[in-house]
Chains A and B, each alone.
Chain A
Amino acid sequence: MSVEVLIKDLIKTNFAVSTDDGNQVFDIVNKNLSKKESIILDFKGISLMTTAFLNAAIGQLYSNKDFSSEFLNSNLKLQNVPEQDKALFGMVVKRAKEYFANKESFERNTNDSMYGHN
């Protein structure tokens, strides 16, 4: 049984544009997925989305190493995403993977240079 969240009701607007509103979505998704509970995000009624919102709502999920792509594909479903915004999701996911890969390598390099490496 999955939890279903109507984004419009959660953020109380049909403009999914701000980082703060994206963080609200992230919090609820992160909470459910951390308990291994599937979740459906329903974008019905959302008339506009930005990468600022999606970076916070979706991109941030890649900061949790327990959430693999396979796990996310199985446990996080996106519903009623407006046709014009689908490409934006693809870009945000791609960017999040790059961002955390770079961040990890940056942090590893910083640690290596600070503490040396074996």
Chain B
Amino acid sequence: MTNEPILSRQNRILIPPTDDNRCKQARKKEFMRKIYIPIKVTSSAKGYELLIRLYDDLKDLQDEIIHLSLYNVQWFEANLAAVLGAIIENLENKNNKVYLVDVEEFRQKTDILYRNGFLPYYGIEGENLMNSSTQIPYKKFRESDHKIYNQYIQVELLDNPDFPKHSRKLGIEIKRNIYELFENARTHGRCKNIHTCGQFYPGKKRLHITIVDTGKTIINNVLSFLKKELSSSECIEWAMETGNTTKIGNTPGGLGLGLIMEFINLNKGKIQIVSSNGFWELRESKMEKYDLNFSFPGTIANLEFNLQEDKIYSFANETPDMDNIF
């Protein structure tokens, strides 16, 4: 990526000046700001940069009332609600009160953020919504909630009658990848909460799932482990290779992310990792990495599974002799 911001002027977040003389006194009392969520949020490098810039513009606010407006939003990729949830949590941790506003204007364009439970999570209920169950609802899990997360995946994905038909073997590998990623966020991020959201597309036979943690970034972990200079996207690239781990205790690591990468490659799916200002993507066997202009205080992992690709998946060339495996 170039060093120039990739945002157009119209996407910039408008923060009303607080030193406006006419309203200075009133604003001091209210501490209210209205912030506009970008027009188009998609799972591309540009889409992530827009969301991270939203965080960057707000990161120094404390003890304020923040109205996050959906007024301008034309398109918001459903699973990326997990990223917005993490940004809101970050603001709330700094004693800000955050309200999602202008939701009716957005609803006239799409009701997806109602249907995937994101707006209802913040107390905004919708009526006469489209009847659809292709969402894996937005949820926030505490670091210790791994058993509740198991139930969530079971109920929302595996037991969902609308989930596209696929082979048992593929179903097992999808679950395995999701859990590996969730565990990675829990154990490496050392975060308070993990945000997750997903969406499946029966027509395209695709499943998208996003897992966001706001703990230590991959970049922090890799740089303090390797003690050498790497760019953020190079740190992610290093972490994705099988055998590479930043763990130093008695529990080995270095397999989970590598296996996900191998699986996504075979499956012709997509994996994107955004951590700090690093962006790394593997899509249909093609890897891309960039350093973004803004930094996210955690890690966003976005997986896209291809439910049509039902070939036999094999981790290794041979099955070990279980009686002499050690």
Contact = CB atoms under 8 A, between A and B. Distances in A.
Interface residues of B, number: 35
A109 B172 CA distance: 42
Given A51-B255, A59-B251, A84-B172, A18 B319 contact: no
Interface in A30-48: 47-48
A103 B225 CA distance: 13
B123 interface: no
A99 B176 contact: no
A88 B315 contact: yes
A93 interface: yes
Contacts of A92: 252, 255
A90 interface: yes
Interface residues of A, number: 44
B320 A48 contact: no
A48 B307 CA distance: 19
Contacts of B316: 87, 90-91
A50 B180 contact: yes
Given A72-B326, A95-B252, A50 B176 contact: yes
User: What is the interface of chain A mostly: helix, strand, loop, or mixed?
Assistant: helix
A60 B325 contact: no
A52 B184 contact: yes
Contact of A78 (B180, B245, B255, B325): B325
24 contacts: A13-B150, A18-B146, A18-B186, A22-B251, A48-B176, A50-B183, A51-B180, A51-B256, A51-B259, A60-B251, A73-B325, A84-B172, A87-B316, A87-B320, A88-B315, A89-B320, A89-B322, A89-B325, A90-B325, A91-B255, A92-B252, A93-B325, A95-B255, A99-B252
